[in-house]
Chains A and B, each alone.
Chain A
Amino acid sequence: MFESLAHGFAVALSPSNLLFAVVGVVLGTVVGVLPGIGPPTTVALLLPLTSGVDVTAAVIMLAGIFYGAMYGGSTTSILVNLPGEAASVVTTYDGYQMAQQGRAGGALAIAAIGSFVAGTLGVIGLTFLSPALSELALRFGPPEYFGLTLLGLTLVASLATGSMLRGLLMAALGLWLGMIGLDPVQGTQRFTFGILELSDGIDLVPITMGLFGVGEILYNLRQAQEMPTVRRAVIDWSRSLREVIQSRWAILRGSLVGFFVGILPGGGAIISSLLAYAMEKRLARDPSRFGHGAPEGVAAPESANNAAATTSMIPMMLLGVPGNATTALILAAFLIHGVRPGPFLLRDHPDVFWGVVASMYIGNVLLIVLNLPLVGVFIQLLRVPYRYLAVLIALLTMIGAYSINNSIFDVWLMLLFGGLGYVCRVLRFDVGPLIIAFVLGPMVELSLRQSLIMSRGDIGILFARPAATAFVLAAVGLLAGQMVSSSLRYFGGLRRAQVG
Chain B
Amino acid sequence: MGTTWSQEAFPTKPVELVIPFAAGGSHDLHARVIAGFAQQYLGQPLVVLLKPGGGGAIASQFVVKGRGDGYTLLFGSNGPNTILPQVQDVGYKMREFTPVCMINYSPPLLFVGANAPWKTLPEFIEFSKANPGKVNFAHTGIWGAAHFPMLIVENKTGAKVNFVPFDGGGPALLAVASGNADASFGFAAQLLPFVQAGRVRVLGVAAPERIETVRDVPTFRELGVDVTFTLWRTILAPSTTPLPRVRTLRQACAKIVQDPSFRALIRQLGEPLIYMDGPGFLTFWRNEWDDIARALAAIRR
Please give the residue numbers on chain A whose beta carbons come within 8 Å of chain B beta carbons, in ascending order. Answer: 40, 44, 47-48, 51, 137-139, 141-142, 182, 184-187, 196-197, 199-200, 265-266, 319-322, 325, 328-329, 331-332, 335-338, 340, 342-344, 405-407, 446, 449-450, 453-454, 456
A453 and B164: CB pair below 8 A?
A: yes
Binds A, one of B28-36, B116-124, B238-246, B277-285: B28-36
Is B174 interfacial (CB-CB < 8 Å)? Answer: yes
Given contacts A343-B196, A405-B52, A406-B49, 5 further A-B contacts (CB under 8 A): A48-B48, A138-B174, A141-B175, A196-B61, A405-B53
Question: What chain A residues lie within 8 Å of B189 (beta carbons)?
Answer: 335, 340
Can you pick out 28 interface pairs between chain A and chain B where the beta carbons lie within 8 Å of each other?
A: A40-B23, A47-B24, A48-B48, A139-B178, A182-B141, A187-B143, A196-B61, A197-B58, A199-B53, A200-B53, A200-B54, A265-B170, A266-B171, A321-B170, A325-B23, A325-B24, A329-B24, A331-B24, A332-B25, A335-B189, A340-B270, A342-B197, A343-B194, A344-B196, A405-B51, A405-B52, A406-B50, A453-B165
A199 and B54: CB pair below 8 A?
A: yes
A45 CB → nearest B CB, Å:
9
B220 CB → nearest A CB, Å:
24
B180 and A141: CB pair below 8 A?
A: yes
A-B residue pairs, 9 tightest by C-beta? A187-B142, A342-B193, A321-B170, A141-B180, A332-B24, A338-B268, A343-B197, A44-B23, A329-B24
Is B104 interfacial (CB-CB < 8 Å)? Answer: no
A333 CB → nearest B CB, Å:
8
Question: What chain A residues lie within 8 Å of B32 (beta carbons)?
Answer: 47-48, 51, 336
Write the chain B residue with the least CB distance to A52.
B36
The answer to whether A454 and B181 touch (CB under 8 A), given A196-B54, A335-B269, is yes
A332 and B54: CB pair below 8 A?
A: no
Write the chain A residue with the least CB distance to B36.
A51
| In the complex, chain B residues 32-63 whose Cβ is within 8 Å of any chain A Cβ | 32, 35-36, 48-55, 57-58, 61
Distance between Cα atoms of A410 and B141 in the complex (Å): 23
Distance between Cα atoms of A229 and B140 in the complex (Å): 51
B296 CB → nearest A CB, Å:
14
The answer to whether A446 and B24 touch (CB under 8 A), given A186-B142, A454-B180, is no
A152 CB → nearest B CB, Å:
17
Is B190 interfacial (CB-CB < 8 Å)? Answer: yes
A494 CB → nearest B CB, Å:
48
A99 CB → nearest B CB, Å:
34
Is B163 interfacial (CB-CB < 8 Å)? Answer: yes
Distance between Cα atoms of A266 and B164 in the complex (Å): 17
Write the chain A residue with the least CB distance to B182.
A454
Distance between Cα atoms of A184 and B139 in the complex (Å): 11
Is B207 interfacial (CB-CB < 8 Å)? Answer: no
Write the chain B residue with the least CB distance to A203.
B53
B141 and A343: CB pair below 8 A?
A: no
Write the chain B residue with the least CB distance to A453.
B164
Encode B215-251 as 1/0 by CB contact (under 8 A) with A.
Answer: 0000000000000000000000000000000000000
B62 CB → nearest A CB, Å:
9
Encode B121-137 as 1/0 by CB contact (under 8 A) with A.
Answer: 00000000000010010
B127 CB → nearest A CB, Å:
16
B164 and A450: CB pair below 8 A?
A: yes
Distance between Cα atoms of A199 and B141 in the complex (Å): 13
B174 partner, pick from A137, A196, A200, A336, beta carbons under 8 A: A137
Question: What chain A residues lie within 8 Å of B177 (beta carbons)?
Answer: 138
A199 and B197: CB pair below 8 A?
A: no
B24 and A196: CB pair below 8 A?
A: no
Distance between Cα atoms of A337 and B178 in the complex (Å): 29
The answer to whether A197 and B164 touch (CB under 8 A), given A321-B170, A340-B270, is no
B193 and A187: CB pair below 8 A?
A: no
A321 and B28: CB pair below 8 A?
A: no
Question: What chain A residues lie within 8 Å of B54 (beta carbons)?
Answer: 196-197, 199-200
Distance between Cα atoms of A410 and B194 in the complex (Å): 38
The answer to whether A329 and B181 touch (CB under 8 A), given A200-B53, A200-B54, is no
Distance between Cα atoms of A356 and B218 in the complex (Å): 38
B51 and A48: CB pair below 8 A?
A: no
Is B10 interfacial (CB-CB < 8 Å)? Answer: no
B105 CB → nearest A CB, Å:
18
Question: What chain A residues lie within 8 Å of B51 (beta carbons)?
Answer: 405-407
Distance between Cα atoms of A252 and B29 in the complex (Å): 39
Distance between Cα atoms of A331 and B29 in the complex (Å): 11
Write the chain B residue with the least CB distance to A449.
B165
The answer to whether A199 and B174 touch (CB under 8 A), given A266-B167, A340-B189, A343-B199, is no
Question: What chain A residues lie within 8 Å of B48 (beta carbons)?
Answer: 48
The answer to whether A321 and B164 touch (CB under 8 A), given A343-B194, A406-B50, is no
| In the complex, chain B residues 126-166 whose Cβ is within 8 Å of any chain A Cβ | 133, 136, 141-143, 162-166
Question: What chain B residues lie within 8 Å of A185 (beta carbons)?
Answer: 165
A8 CB → nearest B CB, Å:
21
Is B73 interfacial (CB-CB < 8 Å)? Answer: no
Distance between Cα atoms of A319 and B173 in the complex (Å): 10
Question: What chain B residues lie within 8 Å of A344 (beta carbons)?
Answer: 193, 196-197
B53 partner, pick from A40, A48, A137, A196, beta carbons under 8 A: A196
Distance between Cα atoms of A187 and B79 in the complex (Å): 14
B275 CB → nearest A CB, Å:
21
Question: What chain B residues lie within 8 Å of A187 (beta carbons)?
Answer: 141-143
Distance between Cα atoms of A337 and B269 in the complex (Å): 8
B55 partner, pick from A44, A199, A343, beta carbons under 8 A: A199
